[in-house]
């Protein structure tokens, strides 16, 4: 492939690594920007990526990583630097880049926010502002807004502790409904856009699982997938925060984001579905039952 087909990935976590694997399976050349040349960088090279060192908050390293790039995937872990990074990327891409598309990983909560809404987490506010900056830059942006991830510890690591011990999902979601999506499905959408960016610039894609469920219905999906009875136990949010979340030792910014996500679930803000995954990739999003069944060893211990 010509160098003009080069794709830059700036967040090589769960979604980004999956995107890398999908692009390389189609022989698309990929450059990945990482902050450290460590074991993870070596793993990315082994997958066929060109690895460069950089920092999304440092314009000179972003400019170097963008050279010769046709399309870019912008993402980073939950961080108070998210808006700064988005501003650096937007300004550098506008001044130095020649992109056909910049695919930005956002959050579906943004679609319910306004310039003055205050009920969301600080991280969600940063995503809202980052989208504004990317739009104002004039760079051909594609916003990808997934709902909560099935791969999130709320639905993986925590149930892996409570299901073997008590046969229960123990979460502070109340009666709210949700439609979590697998990382793999988000990556399929991102890779599809990056492989052929034509016609995507300016679009917003909202990604969810195939249907919404309350937590009792989610427990039923776990029951079917695992072949053992699983129930849902609702706990007060502040109790859960003190007895569970505070023991993990997370930074305050991340903890506040997780607590807010739980509260928004209680308020039914995650009761949304979209057919964008199937429309863009031709394959529907994975169900909760299928996701859990593929990870029986994790949940059953």
Q: How far apart are CA 86 and CA 270, in angstroms?
A: 25
Reported as type and span, the H/E element at residue 204 is: strand 204-207
| Phi, psi of 5, deg, nearest 5 | -90, 0
Is pLDDT at 264 greater than 50 in this prediction? yes
- Give the tens place of pLDDT for each residue, 185-237: 999 999 999 999 999 999 999 999 999 999 999 999 999 999 999 999 999 99
For the purposes of burial, counting CB atoms within 10 Å of the CB of 152, is it exposed (0-12), middle (13-18) or buried (19 or more)? middle
- Give the tens place of pLDDT for each residue, 1-45: 344 689 999 988 899 999 999 999 999 999 999 999 999 999 999
Average pLDDT over residues 73-89: 97
The answer for 227, left when phi > 0, alpha when psi is -120 to 50, beta otherwise, is: left
| Per-residue model confidence (pLDDT) at position 4 | 67
Average pLDDT over residues 51-74: 97
CA torsion sign for 199, 189, 202, 273 is positive
The answer for 105, left when phi > 0, alpha when psi is -120 to 50, beta otherwise, is: beta
Is pLDDT at 263 greater than 90 in this prediction? yes
Average pLDDT over residues 100-107: 97
- Give the tens place of pLDDT for each residue, 91-100: 999 999 899 9
Considering the chain, what percentage of its residues have pLDDT values greater than 70? 99
- Give the tens place of pLDDT for each residue, 132-154: 999 999 999 999 999 999 999 99
Beta strands in 108-153 (DSSP E): 141-146
| Tokens coding 295 | 């990870």
| Per-residue model confidence (pLDDT) at position 3 | 47
| Per-residue model confidence (pLDDT) at position 173 | 97
Is pLDDT at 291 greater than 60 in this prediction? yes
Q: Average model confidence (pLDDT) for the chain?
A: 96
Instruction: Determine how many CB atoms are found less than 10 A away from the CB of residue 192.
Output: 18
Q: How confident is the model at residue 262 (pLDDT cuts 50, 70, 90)?
A: very high
Give the number of residues written for the chain: 301
């Amino acid at each position: 492939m010509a160098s003009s087909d080069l794709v830059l990935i700036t967040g090589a976590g769960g979604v980004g690594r999956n995107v890398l694997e999908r692009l390389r399976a189609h022989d698309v050349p990929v450059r990945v920007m990482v902050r450290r040349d460590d074991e993870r960088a070596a793993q990315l090279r082994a997958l066929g990526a060109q690895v460069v060192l950089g920092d999304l908050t440092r314009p000179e390293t972003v400019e170097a990583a963008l050279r010769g790039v046709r399309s870019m995937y912008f993402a980073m872990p939950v961080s108070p630097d998210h808006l700064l990074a988005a501003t650096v990327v937007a300004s550098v891409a506008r001044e130095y880049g020649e992109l056909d598309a910049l695919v930005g990983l956002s959050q579906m909560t943004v679609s319910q926010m306004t310039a003055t809404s205050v009920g969301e987490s600080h991280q969600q506010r940063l995503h809202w502002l980052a989208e504004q900056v990317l739009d104002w830059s004039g760079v051909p942006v594609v916003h990808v807004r997934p709902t909560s991830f099935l791969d999130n510890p709320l639905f993986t690591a925590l149930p892996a502790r409570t299901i073997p011990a008590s046969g229960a999902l123990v979460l502070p979601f109340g009666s709210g409904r949700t439609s979590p999506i697998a990382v793999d499905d988000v990556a399929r959408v991102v890779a599809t856009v990056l492989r052929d960016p034509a016609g995507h610039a300016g679009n917003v894609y909202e990604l969810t699982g195939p249907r919404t469920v309350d937590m009792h219905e989610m427990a039923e999906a776990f029951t079917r997938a695992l072949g053992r009875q699983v129930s849902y136990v609702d706990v007060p949010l502040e109790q859960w925060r003190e007895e569970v979340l505070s023991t993990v030792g997370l930074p305050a910014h991340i903890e506040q984001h997780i607590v807010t996500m739980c509260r928004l679930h209680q308020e039914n803000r995650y009761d949304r579905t979209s057919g964008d995954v199937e429309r863009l990739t031709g394959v529907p999003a994975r169900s909760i039952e299928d996701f859990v069944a593929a990870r029986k060893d994790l949940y059953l211990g």
